[in-house]
A and B are shown apart, each in its own frame.
Chain A
Amino acid sequence: MLLSVITLLPLAFALVMLVLPEKVIRPVALLLAVVEFAVSLLLLTSFDKASPAIQLVEQIPWVPEMGISYFLGIDGLSLWLVILTTFLTPIVVLGSWTAIDNRIKGFHAALFVLQTSMIGSFLAMDAVLFYVFFELSLVPMYFMVGIWGGQRRIYATVKFFIYTMAGSLMMLLAIIYLMFACRDTFGQMSASLLDFYRLKIPFVAGEFLNPQTLLFFAFSLAFAIKVPMFPVHTWLPDAHVEAPTPGSVILAGVMLKMGSYGFLRFVLPMFAEASQYYAWLFLFLGVVGIIYGALVAMVQPDIKKLIAYSSVSHMGYVMIGLFSLNMYGVSGSLYQMLNHGISTGALFLLIGMIYERTHNREIAKYGGLAKALPIYTIIFIIVTMSSIAVPMTNGFIGEFMILLGTFEASRPFAIAAVTGVVLGAVYMLWMVKRVFFGPAGELVRDEHHPLHDLNARELTVMAPLVVLIFWMGLNPNFFLDYSKASLDHFVKNRDNYRLAVSPAQPKLENVAVRGEAQ
């Protein structure tokens, strides 16, 4: 029950939003989001971290003829991503308290629908269900950017939608193919991931036109666009710049992870040979993404666009970690997904806060903010340190493990990726220098609009993020322990990946995993 509650509760909240009067929307939304977060924390108690199996499973037939079911389950790969989602939502609600001032009803409803779709895609163990949630997430985000966004919001939102949609259609085809493959192998169609894992999909090395390679690229394209990987990343800067602050936070914080999670859940275990064979391509594109994202970020005149390109760079790390295909790299990637959610989310929130004050994001017009807004500066610099992976912050742990893993997989790529460590410092610190240090800039010395430092609400928004930055940096074991069993299982048995359903679950006798008999 717990997983369904966590998944569908936000959907109910969205309905609640629609009937409430405008005045109470914000506090109620905040309260409900916190409730949802609290419920999701129950996962930590009911989750057995020693087991790599999927747990808390729920399965209800949906379209039995085609083997599609409402099938939810959780394991170490998805646990923290779910909690990241529920964690960021209340922060976003509180962070958008004053930033969103029109149609707040619709906004909060969209936010909750978005939350359902994101959690659903992390928990879905059925490919069709996953696809439904994966696509559903586009709709609220489309409106979020399109209604509450900036000047070129329509351009950005259409671009975002079409890019993502184009990729996921390929995935839909691939899912249908796999469902038929299940019929051919097990005698019955199935969309269950557990069955997909058991398929033996023919692979011919060096040739493009064979089932596994094609499926691999179909899935990869969908997820690579979502991640986004170089060279299909160009929707991201536009979407980020035009999105309202909460949209950017959710987009960077969670939605990008749906792509990398897709790689982890679908591509790497299902198409083991192909992902091994084409790993070099993704390592290459990941490394190019790291360097390219960093270089382009360096010369952006707009703070938000800079952070958007830094996401391209950071997600490049996640990708090379995944495709290093060893324990260090994959653990590091999972960790980096969380880090990126927290630190980039925090950066977008901070930029939103300053934007609310000055209505401008041009770096050249700032300068000397450190003197005007000292507390803001302290927090910004802490988050910056996390973003450029200074030890004792979360960013270091992820980046270190990823580079370690990549080094094991391929030294030249690791050496190339390490330049990202330098470039990351370059673009962030250069921006920090121009925005915060030096003499007061045009916007900062404007006497008619004196800037105020962060208020209590904004501090409350940032505090949990800052705490997490240090907590994850100083005690990574706490977080890694929950995922270790799953990751270990994942890395060791990737060639012949199977996911068991945790036997500790009640009521599972009648939920026979289809095809087990064949």
Chain B
Amino acid sequence: MMSNQILFAILLLAPFVGFMFNGIRWKSHNATLAGVVATFAVFVSFVCSLLLVSQLFGANAVPSVGTRFFEWMNVGGLQVQAGFVIDHISAIMVLVVTGVGTLIHMFSIGYMSHDERPSKYFAYLNFFLFNMLLLILGENLLLMFVGWEGVGLCSYLLIGFWFTDSEKAAAGMKAFITNRIGDAGFLLGIFTLFFLFGTVNFSEIIARLPAGGIEMGWTGPMTVACLFLFVGATGKSAQIPLYVWLPDAMAGPTPVSALIHAATMVTAGVYMIVRLNPLFLMAPNALHVVAVVGAATAFFAATIGLTQWDIKKILAYSTVSQLGYMFLACGVGAFGAGLFHVMTHAFFKALMFLGSGSVIHAMHEEQDVRKMGGLRKYLPITHATFFIGWLAIIGIPPFAGFFSKDEILWQTASSPLGHKALWVVGVLTAGITSFYMTRLMCLTFWGKSRVPKETHPHEAPPVMWIPLAVLAVLSTVGGWIGIPKVMLGGEDNWLERWFHHVIAPVPEALGHAVHSHALEWAAMGVSLSFAVIMACLAYTFYVSNPSLPGRLAQKFHGTYRLIYNKYFVDEFYFARIINPLIDASKGLWAYVDVNFIDRTTYVLGDVVRGVGSTAKSFQTGNLQQYAMYIAVGLAVTMFLILR
């Protein structure tokens, strides 16, 4: 049995070695070699994490496995170890990330086979995974922050992977900068926590939480810390108001969107909140903010998803919306449900993104769904897997999405931190999700083909469809670990038991949860039937009666335009924040630096020069005048002395 330290080292370093391998031979065009090495590296990580996670099971189960490599920073009271830990929370994340990561790497081998720089791509992808593992496994906030910024950097590099296109490079930049705003908040959160608890270590912070010291106001240190951290989460996890980067991030290669911008990186914010769940439970007001922002984002992004034509943009807005769900779950104190949704979402959204990658690949880089349709007969496997993903996301039992989404909605309704209004928003969002996802299915796979004649879609090679198939299986069975209590006859499901020690229940001081089986069945029925109705409606709109949506858009022209243009949020940011900032900076440069400070110093210089030129006029060169000065000076001196 290898020691845990070695296992951790391999787990972390395998992707790094892959990164170095591909990074050094970045000029190589050999996609297969690069891809296989990269995939293998991630697979090694997956195996290591399985071995480590297995120690949490069974008779000799330990609450967590961890190791420390070296002391990273030691200044004053701040001691930061390069230490890593797998507990019941990070176990799920690490398995999802390395597992789904392996599949996406594998998919990439096919997807990037014709690219100019496949080695560079795989190097970045492996480096991303390395950073993601730091983020997940780091035992303290600082290591998490290292990974947090590291994944942001990789995201920047991968979004701008095809950098010769100015727009793609700009999208990468936008992602990085928007994330940086969040990161600034995260930093402030770290500072607040450090000065509050004297440590940045997760387990120590949680151990030092004041017992029963729930902060009710807005200005308590824990509330402030939680809000700062949540700012970080809104950046990384694309919540209002910082979500704008994620749709643009679709400029990157599609597997990147699947891995980074759907399955793993963007869920980091949720993961961070879950990791600190006892802390957040101390600050109910912060949780309310989380819940409201989450619900608002979920709804808001879903409506934008209704009108988009780019297959990846639709999925991107769907991702933003689903992330909103996860925050909603956290906000109502259902952290387990939030993490559960992270997992199922990773399965089905990765599946759908890879499916869309397969479609785009087949359509020769075409992303507009208006030019697709009827692809079912060309891409049977992709269609089948996408179909499962569709069932999962709209929440049809027994597919994965149903269980996690239902758990979130029920907790929203029943938790003492939840609210009926939030539940209504959640259900509405579920309906809209169902509508636009069905729309996507109809426009892409079903109905009449609108494929241009010169394109000949073809099914993907096995290296691409095998990951799809595996993900489809996971999207089907992945939710079964969290079957609601009412269905199991009142017994706790596996997930409940798994999270038992690491996720704190909502403190009793905040109120009591509603327990009513009838109500739970009813809520489930309402949301399910609503989703099905919306799906049928979408089918009617886009397959049976394809002219209807156009007419509706005509009729509600203003609203449609507003939503189609994403509520003009980007335009608003440009007009009200970015451009004024640039203008102000130019003003500062021209007026403060050049015209004010420099002018002021010139004035000082001019004074000196003026005095000089006045003095200069005495020095005419006329010797007799000088003699006169001497004489007068002498006379004055004599007078003064002899007076």
Binding site for B on A (CB under 8 A): 162-163, 231-234, 237, 292, 295-296, 298-300, 326-328, 331-332, 367-368, 370-371, 374, 385, 390-392, 396-397, 400-401, 403-404, 407-408, 414-415, 418-419, 421-422, 425-426, 429-430, 432-433, 436-439, 474-477, 480, 484
How far apart are the CA atoms of A371 and B163 in the complex, in Å? 9
- Please give, as numbers and ranges, the residues of chain A lying within 8 Å of B176 by CB-CB distance: 425, 429
Contacts A391-B145, A404-B194: A422 and B177 contacting too (C-beta < 8 A)?
yes
Instruction: Return the contact of A418 from the options B156, B188, B598 (Cβ within 8 A).
Output: B188
Instruction: Return the contact of B163 from the options A332, A370, A422 (Cβ within 8 A).
Output: A370
A296 touches B72 (CB 8 A): no
Closest chain-B Cβ to A173's Cβ sits at a distance in Å of 18
B72 touches A437 (CB 8 A): no
A234 touches B78 (CB 8 A): no
Contacts A438-B169, A480-B74: A390 and B184 contacting too (C-beta < 8 A)?
no
A328 touches B581 (CB 8 A): no
A391 touches B150 (CB 8 A): yes
Per the 8 Å Cβ criterion, residues 562-595 of B in contact with A are 581-582, 584-586, 588-589, 592-593
Instruction: Return the contact of A296 from the options B78, B169, B192, B585 (Cβ within 8 A).
Output: B585
B75 at the binding interface (Cβ < 8 Å): yes
Which of B142, B188, B598 has the largest count of A CB atoms less than 10 A from its CB?
B188
- Please give 7 more A-B residue pairs, beta carbons under 8 A apart, in addition to A385-B153, A438-B166: A231-B597, A295-B581, A328-B78, A368-B164, A370-B163, A422-B184, A480-B75
B74 touches A298 (CB 8 A): no
B166 touches A439 (CB 8 A): yes
Contacts A234-B593, A234-B601, A425-B176: A437 and B166 contacting too (C-beta < 8 A)?
yes
Closest Cβ neighbor of A385 among chain B residues: B153
A476 touches B73 (CB 8 A): yes
Closest chain-A Cβ to B330's Cβ sits at a distance in Å of 24
Closest chain-B Cβ to A316's Cβ sits at a distance in Å of 14
Q: Chain B: interface residue count, which band? A: 35 or more
Instruction: Return the contact of B76 from the options A331, A371, A400, A429 (Cβ within 8 A).
Output: A331
Closest Cβ neighbor of B23 among chain A residues: A378
Closest chain-A Cβ to B560's Cβ sits at a distance in Å of 33
B191 at the binding interface (Cβ < 8 Å): yes
How far apart are the CA atoms of A163 and B601 in the complex, in Å? 9
- Please give, as numbers and ranges, the residues of chain A lying within 8 Å of B592 by CB-CB distance: 231, 292
How far apart are the CA atoms of A331 and B74 in the complex, in Å? 11
B71 at the binding interface (Cβ < 8 Å): yes
- Please give, as numbers and ranges, the residues of chain A lying within 8 Å of B184 by CB-CB distance: 418-419, 421-422
Contacts A234-B597, A295-B584, A299-B586: A407 and B76 contacting too (C-beta < 8 A)?
no
A390 touches B149 (CB 8 A): yes
Closest chain-B Cβ to A228's Cβ sits at a distance in Å of 11
Closest Cβ neighbor of A407 among chain B residues: B191
A299 touches B589 (CB 8 A): yes
Closest Cβ neighbor of B178 among chain A residues: A422
- Please give, as numbers and ranges, the residues of chain B lying within 8 Å of A480 by CB-CB distance: 73-75
Interface residues of chain B: helix, strand, loop or mixed (majority): helix
Q: What are 11 contact pairs spanning A and B, CB under 8 A?
A: A162-B605, A295-B581, A299-B589, A326-B76, A331-B76, A370-B163, A371-B164, A401-B78, A407-B188, A429-B156, A430-B173
B195 at the binding interface (Cβ < 8 Å): yes
B288 at the binding interface (Cβ < 8 Å): no
Per the 8 Å Cβ criterion, residues 178-222 of B in contact with A are 180-181, 183-184, 187-188, 191-192, 194-195
Closest chain-B Cβ to A482's Cβ sits at a distance in Å of 13
- Please give, as numbers and ranges, the residues of chain B lying within 8 Å of A400 by CB-CB distance: 142, 187
B589 touches A327 (CB 8 A): no
Closest chain-B Cβ to A494's Cβ sits at a distance in Å of 14
B188 touches A401 (CB 8 A): no
Closest chain-A Cβ to B156's Cβ sits at a distance in Å of 8
Per the 8 Å Cβ criterion, residues 31-85 of B in contact with A are 70-78
Closest chain-A Cβ to B28's Cβ sits at a distance in Å of 13
Closest Cβ neighbor of B82 among chain A residues: A474
Closest chain-B Cβ to A33's Cβ sits at a distance in Å of 30
A295 touches B585 (CB 8 A): yes
B365 at the binding interface (Cβ < 8 Å): no
Closest chain-A Cβ to B319's Cβ sits at a distance in Å of 23
Closest Cβ neighbor of B75 among chain A residues: A331
Total number of A-B contacts with CB less than 8 angstroms?
132
A407 touches B195 (CB 8 A): yes
Closest chain-B Cβ to A90's Cβ sits at a distance in Å of 27
Binding site for A on B (CB under 8 A): 27, 70-78, 142, 145-146, 149-150, 153, 156, 160, 163-166, 169-170, 172-173, 176-177, 180-181, 183-184, 187-188, 191-192, 194-195, 581-582, 584-586, 588-589, 592-593, 597-598, 601, 605
B164 touches A421 (CB 8 A): no
How far apart are the CA atoms of A392 and B592 in the complex, in Å? 36
Contacts A414-B191, A422-B180: A328 and B76 contacting too (C-beta < 8 A)?
yes
Please name the 8 residue pairs, one residue from A and one from B, whose CB atoms are nearest each other, closest first. Answer: A437-B169, A327-B76, A438-B166, A391-B146, A295-B585, A437-B163, A407-B191, A418-B184
- Please give, as numbers and ranges, the residues of chain A lying within 8 Å of B582 by CB-CB distance: 298-299
B149 touches A438 (CB 8 A): no
B76 touches A296 (CB 8 A): no
- Please give, as numbers and ranges, the residues of chain A lying within 8 Å of B73 by CB-CB distance: 397, 476-477, 480
B145 touches A437 (CB 8 A): no
B76 touches A476 (CB 8 A): no
- Please give, as numbers and ranges, the residues of chain B lying within 8 Å of A415 by CB-CB distance: 188
How far apart are the CA atoms of A403 and B78 in the complex, in Å? 13
- Please give, as numbers and ranges, the residues of chain B lying within 8 Å of A295 by CB-CB distance: 581, 584-585, 588
A438 touches B188 (CB 8 A): no
B585 touches A436 (CB 8 A): no
A404 touches B589 (CB 8 A): no
- Please give, as numbers and ranges, the residues of chain B lying within 8 Å of A414 by CB-CB distance: 188, 191
- Please give, as numbers and ranges, the residues of chain B lying within 8 Å of A438 by CB-CB distance: 163-166, 169
- Please give, as numbers and ranges, the residues of chain B lying within 8 Å of A433 by CB-CB distance: 160, 166, 169-170, 172-173
How far apart are the CA atoms of A495 and B180 in the complex, in Å? 38
Instruction: Return the contact of A477 from the options B74, B172, B180 (Cβ within 8 A).
Output: B74
Contacts A295-B584, A433-B170: A408 and B177 contacting too (C-beta < 8 A)?
no
Closest chain-A Cβ to B417's Cβ sits at a distance in Å of 28
A296 touches B593 (CB 8 A): yes
A436 touches B181 (CB 8 A): no
Contacts A419-B184, A422-B184, A429-B173: A392 and B150 contacting too (C-beta < 8 A)?
yes
Closest chain-B Cβ to A376's Cβ sits at a distance in Å of 14
Closest Cβ neighbor of B192 among chain A residues: A407
How far apart are the CA atoms of A300 and B590 in the complex, in Å? 11
- Please give, as numbers and ranges, the residues of chain B lying within 8 Å of A390 by CB-CB distance: 149-150, 153
B166 touches A328 (CB 8 A): no
A327 touches B75 (CB 8 A): yes
Closest chain-B Cβ to A52's Cβ sits at a distance in Å of 15
Closest chain-B Cβ to A72's Cβ sits at a distance in Å of 28
Closest chain-A Cβ to B126's Cβ sits at a distance in Å of 15
Closest chain-A Cβ to B171's Cβ sits at a distance in Å of 10
- Please give, as numbers and ranges, the residues of chain B lying within 8 Å of A385 by CB-CB distance: 153
- Please give, as numbers and ranges, the residues of chain A lying within 8 Å of B584 by CB-CB distance: 295
B588 touches A404 (CB 8 A): no
- Please give, as numbers and ranges, the residues of chain A lying within 8 Å of B165 by CB-CB distance: 438
How far apart are the CA atoms of A163 and B173 in the complex, in Å? 38
Contacts A421-B184, A422-B180: A408 and B164 contacting too (C-beta < 8 A)?
no
How far apart are the CA atoms of A84 and B38 in the complex, in Å? 38
- Please give, as numbers and ranges, the residues of chain B lying within 8 Å of A419 by CB-CB distance: 184
- Please give, as numbers and ranges, the residues of chain B lying within 8 Å of A237 by CB-CB distance: 593
Closest Cβ neighbor of A378 among chain B residues: B26
- Please give, as numbers and ranges, the residues of chain B lying within 8 Å of A232 by CB-CB distance: 597
- Please give, as numbers and ranges, the residues of chain A lying within 8 Å of B589 by CB-CB distance: 296, 299-300
Closest Cβ neighbor of A237 among chain B residues: B593
- Please give, as numbers and ranges, the residues of chain A lying within 8 Å of B153 by CB-CB distance: 385, 390
Closest Cβ neighbor of A292 among chain B residues: B588
